[in-house]
Amino acid sequence: MPDVSTGQPAVRWHSDAAPAASSLLASVPHDPRDDWFACPLEWIEGDFRGEAWSLELDAAEIESGQAHGWRYRRCGSIALATCHIDDGPDPDPEAIQQAAYDGYRALFALQADLGLSELQRIWHWLSSVTEGDGDDERYQRFCRGRAEALDTPGHPVRVLPPATLVSGARRGVRMHALIGDRAVQPIENPRQVSAYRYPRDYGLRAPAFARGGVATLGSSRYLLISGTASIIGHESRHPGDVDAQADEAMNNLAAVIKAAAPQIGAHALTDLECIKAYVRDPADAPAVRARLSARLPGVPAALLHAPLCREELLVEFEAQMPV
């Protein structure tokens, strides 16, 4: 039922399918063959093969629609939206930059239509993420297009949200966005340079996201942690050592949780509701799962095949917890 103090329903995350008693906002299978709301990655192993967000209210109150190239499921002050842009079989380097710009500008237009001004969490899956040389690398081009969209006057992004970007198994770029009516409280990691302050070495325009954020989803609060890898300062650590990279990435997760303590209180890694591991080489999955089991016993995990935005990075995690 809606929280009487806010008039908004509680929002809940579930592994795989939402319980029948809850009303489904959206289901997100981990399967590149599914359309629209799917996470376009191959599942390797783990405790869940998909996710769902549900609302504690009557299903009749959920609206489905599409506008500006995005599809969405919306109830009151919360919506999950998705778009996919195919940039062609042999795209010019500028094509993915344009796709990033167009996708974000269309998202801003959708937010205006829905009256939901706040971008609370975003996911990106970009095919062949590190293809291309120098400033023409696809990831760097994507960052340029996103930055140009954020340069446009009047856009609604007041604070950068938590985000993930890894390679996708479908051609082009797919984006999922949680949008609402209350701004995220961004959280940065003191062990890392903020992504939006990366030096020129990583591209003409820096990535645009927060390391984590405390988001109000309906009447629920979540700590949402961005894709997190073995990076200290702005440099990748432990090349070629998947065990050490997994441990370093988990150290960074712990640092974000600690940095969020003024907003959410003291929590530990084992308080996480779930964790997703993006693994460059499926052969490394057993080692990654062993490190997760050792440090996060009891936390549901899913391991997905996804090359990362730097060639030397072998594993990246994202995680969340209700607070």
Question: Which residues are known catalytic residues?
Answer: 316
Q: Please report, for residues 55, 159, 297, 306, the alpha-carbon distance to residue 60 in angstroms, rounded to integers and kept in the order given.
A: 11, 32, 38, 36
Q: What's phi and psi for 197, nearest 5 deg?
A: -115, 15
The single-letter code of the amino acid at 156 is: P
Q: Tokens representing 179?
A: 């949008």
CA–CA separation, 123 vs 174, rounded Å?
8
**Could you give the count of Cα atoms lying within 13 Å of 315 in the half-sphere of its Cβ?**
29
What angle do the packed helices 242-259 and 285-295 form, to 10 degrees?
Answer: 40
Does residue 176 contact residue 84 with C-beta atoms inside 8 Å? no
SS3 state of residue 16: coil
- Angle in degrees, CA 215, 216, 222, rounded to 5: 55
Q: Tokens representing 300?
A: 């549901």
